[in-house]
Amino acid sequence: MLTLLKLLKDGRFHSGQALGAALGVSRSAVWKQLQQLEAEFGLVIHKVRGRGYQLANPLVLLSELEIAAATPSASWPVHVYDSIDSTNAEALRLVGKGVVAPFIVVAERQTAGRGRRGRQWVSPFAENIYYSLLLRIDGGMRQLEGLSLVVGLAVLQALRELGIAGAGLKWPNDVLVDNKKIAGILLELVGDPADVCHVVLGVGINVNMQVADQVDQLWTSARLETGRSIDRNQLIASLGEKLRFYLEWHQSSGFAAIQAEWEQNHLWQGRKVALVAGVNQVEGIVLGIDQQGALRLQVDGVEKVFSGGELSLRLRDDA
């Protein structure tokens, strides 16, 4: 079925006879595969008598070779999948099988993509970036301080390079444009964080998505913001370069060296917010972050510090 998709990806018309010959199957078998493509991947395929079959929109599929060619410096190994449950889960499975870090896992779609706090990450086929970088951490807890915020800066700079000047950060793991989510980050760790461990840096970026009824929050995409289709291979290469820069800076100097830049790009700096943890809620004003990446809030005139993976930050209605 995916072989058929690769024949159609140019967006031109292809006759059923030619497709059948290329695949070594009958025209009726081609028709069945086309129906499966539409049903399983949500693709629109035009069927015109006398001309054949055409994808409504041409596809640029992910390619290890194209990602490597677009990366100026030595690139990390890239594992590309057509369909997978979760790039984070696959990265952890690979390291469990002995694949040596660092390496990247990307996929055309995820069947069980997830965000923070167990939320679903909607992952349509061949539209967005589902990306996981697996790292080995030898430096103990210091190398983990503010790590998700460091990743956020790399994602932000890759998006701004596309011309999305209004993109900014929201503590702890989101990138927004006009309060609409364009990217999210999910870190997962295995091993002993005080000694040697592996951490997977998961990044989801809405790239060419234009419709997504399943998303339960305000969202946007690079295509909606720029008005043009984005080459995901180029964006993956750019993201890798930005991650390499910020991760090397973080490793050599610690998060404290990056703290000011992160605060400068925090969209909710100085805003009235509600910090939610389960059924509990704390209201305050965002003062910034500390040298470990924890959130600093002014609560009833007193500065308090909050950190933890299950916290959610929201603007107050009266902000």
Annotated binding-site positions for biotin: 86-88, 110, 114-116, 181
Say which residue the tokens 């990743």 belong to: 151
Say how far apart CA 119 and CA 28 lie, in whole Å: 40
φ, ψ at 109 (rounded to 5°) = -155, 160
Say how far apart CA 58 and CA 25 lie, in whole Å: 24
Binding-site sequence positions: 86-88, 110, 114-116, 181
Q: How many residues does the chain have?
A: 319
Say how far apart CA 206 and CA 210 lie, in whole Å: 9
Span between the terminal Cα atoms of the chain, in Å:
51
Say how far apart CA 127 and CA 129 lie, in whole Å: 7
The catalytic position among 109, 116, 232, 244 is 116
Active site residue 314: yes
80 and 64 Cβ atoms separated by less than 8 Å: yes
Structure tokens at 180: 């609409």
Residue 316 CA to its chain's centroid (Å) = 27
Non-local (6+) Cβ contacts of 44 within 8 A are 38, 55, 56, 57
244 and 70 Cβ atoms separated by less than 8 Å: no
23 and 3 Cβ atoms separated by less than 8 Å: yes
Say how far apart CA 73 and CA 150 lie, in whole Å: 20
Active site residue 51: no
Structure tokens at 185: 């980050």
The catalytic position among 181, 223, 232, 244 is 181
Active site residue 116: yes
- Catalytic center residues: 116, 181, 314
